[in-house]
Amino acid sequence: MKSLLYSLPFLTLFTTMGAEPRNVLFIAVDDLRPDIGCYGVEAAKTPNIDRLAGEGIVFERAYCQQAVCSPSRSSILTGRRPDATKVYDLDTHFRAALPDCVTLPQHFKANGYHTAGLGKIEHHGFEDGASWSEPRWFASGYLVQADPDDWTKQSATRFEGVPGEYANPLSPEEGKKRANGKVKTGPAFEVSPKSDDELPDGATAAEAVKRIGELKTKGEPFFLAVGFVKPHLPFVAPKKYWDLHDPAAIPGPAIETLPEGTDPFVGHTNGELHSYVGVPEGNPIPDEFARSLRHGYYACVSYIDAQVGRLLDALEKNGLAENTVVVLWGDHGWQLGDHGLWHKHTNFELATRAPLIVKAPGFDSAGGKCAAPVEFVDVYPTLADLCGLAVPSRLDGSSLRPYLENPATPMIKPAISQYPRSSKDHGGQLMGYSIRDERWRATFWRKRGTGEIGYIELYDESNDPAETANLANKAEHASVLSHLQGFLPPVGTDEAPPKSPKPSRSQKPGAPKFDPNEPRDVRYDRLYPGQAKLTEDQYLAGQGGDKAAAKERFAKLDKDGDGFVTRDEFIGGGKSK
């Protein structure tokens, strides 16, 4: 029998004194660390996010549950920690472990809201049909509908989206092949000649602006989730955003090595960065290249800031700003050479700490800043609370309402992040639980399935915010460690996840049919955005109908017989010149 949490009845909309239901604008930003003006970073150029902060509350110490995309997003969407979702990687759907869970947008949908998701909300490939009132929209030219009862059954409708982000992508043969077989077809950063809307995030913002107008006309309460991909690698942004920044003014890391007294297994080898074309081999990353990476990151943050501004302007233009809760969050932090590391994938402060800004009608604390540690699992109960919906039981977080009422409210509970690692010197398969209170960060690397602690880190975040030294072996801090260890989850909660099935995606019935009058150059760019030439498998992936017939077409198009179909060969239709 399903628990009460997983069989929610239709709940009454915003019952507080019969007030009009509040809308929700839920803005997700990939890989965004708090290098934003409202977080005190002077080099940042983020006037629109700063504007939102001036109308809401900035949570200065907000922490994700795990510093990698899918685990973090799964936790914020379900209100559950990774040990409950069993999502510790990019290969597992939370419904493998929690098949009947009611997600944050699903809860709003059950209460009469129209829920829509644009861009990256769940991790790509793990779209959740039960959460949304309509198919998921992607700037690349896909509408994806997952079966509400079986997320693995997906159908896709194509539309004319934006091509790939690189201005001149390499062919797959010229690109850099990763160990997993995937190929990167461009560099880690690019000063783009494209306009905002010729890149995916600008196209997403344009669609969101259109949707806000349509939702206003429709008149129903809405939960609109808008997911931006930048500043995720590669750092591609229009030139005008690069020009906003003087590379010499962008701060570098306070420490470029792992903390003193820390074992190397807690870090990584920058594999994600090294997968891009042109990145120098080995570590550390050369200074000049590192400066360009930081410049690119800041340019991308400014690019996203402009898109956020478009959303806020749309709310104002449509008269929705005063009745819409806006939450902006980064799915985790990012290390820009700090500790010698690039990207996330650790339990350090800069990897787990991310922006969280909440603007809600009815509070007198606009422009306030909250210094107490909070967690992303707190977002689900907060939004339900602010919109007058029942807060489901068994969520792992709690409403942030006390901080919205008074940002100076002291810490209610510490924040807990975690990351799996393997170390033969410290117990084999480990789960690192990182406990963050108002001063300390203690990370306990516990042998999975047991109570045995294999390794400990302790950082004084008040007196050593750059985490330069691990203090775990200092006898004077034994009581601190003992206290924080009391917040560890029960032994056995970190058991391996059930194997997640792979989704199957088909052409949605009723999708637009083949148009014989469509120009071939337009058709190529629609079907194969950003690809200079195609292998037979790549060609077949964009072709419907009889695969044998498609193979014959490929052979005909491959006029020079080199095993590839170029864009020009496709446009020429296999005809002799």
Give residue-wise pLDDT tens across range 355-386. Answer: 999 999 999 999 999 999 999 999 999 999 99
Q: Which of 353, 373, 347 is nearest to 259 (CA)?
A: 347
148-160 mean pLDDT: 92
**Encoded amino acid at 453, one letter:** I
Domain 416-485 belongs to what architecture? 2-Layer Sandwich (3.30)
pLDDT grade, residue 11 (50/70/90)?
Answer: very low
Percent of the chain with pLDDT over 90: 79
> Who wins on pLDDT, 306 or 575?
306
Q: Tell me what pLDDT residue 352 has.
A: 98
Q: In angstroms, rounded to a whole number, what is the distance separating the alpha carbons of residues 164 and 156?
A: 18
* Residue showing tokens 């009608």: 361
Catalytic residue numbers?
69, 123
φ, ψ of residue 362 to 5 degrees: the values are: 95, 10
pLDDT 10s digits, 80-100: 999 999 999 999 999 999 999
282-292 mean pLDDT: 97
Q: Which of 64, 125, 65, 135 is nearest to 95 (CA)?
A: 125
Q: Tell me what pLDDT residue 545 has.
A: 54
pLDDT 10s digits, 43-73: 999 999 999 999 999 999 999 999 999 999 9
User: Comparing 25-413 with 513-572, is the CATH topology the same?
Assistant: no
Sign, CA dihedral 166-171-538-91, equals negative
User: Is residue 323 pLDDT above 50, yes or no?
Assistant: yes
336-350 mean pLDDT: 97
Q: Tell me what pLDDT residue 511 has.
A: 42
Element (H, E) at 236: strand 235-238
pLDDT 10s digits, 228-262: 999 999 999 999 999 999 999 999 999 999 999 99
Task: Show me where the domains of the chain are located.
Answer: 25-413, 416-485, 513-572
432-455 mean pLDDT: 97
Structure tokens at 574: 């296999």
pLDDT grade, residue 218 (50/70/90)?
Answer: very high
Q: In angstroms, rounded to a whole number, what is the distance separating the alpha carbons of residues 102 and 14?
A: 19
Give the least confident one: 11-15, 341-345, 412-416, 527-531.
11-15
Q: What is the mean pLDDT of the chain?
A: 92
pLDDT grade, residue 5 (50/70/90)?
Answer: very low
Give the least confident one: 157-166, 303-312, 361-370.
157-166
What number does CATH give the domain 513-572? 1.10.238.10
pLDDT grade, residue 577 (50/70/90)?
Answer: very low
pLDDT 10s digits, 382-426: 999 999 999 999 999 999 999 999 999 999 999 999 999 999 999
What number does CATH give the domain 25-413? 3.40.720.10
Give the least confident one: 95-99, 156-160, 197-201, 461-465.
156-160
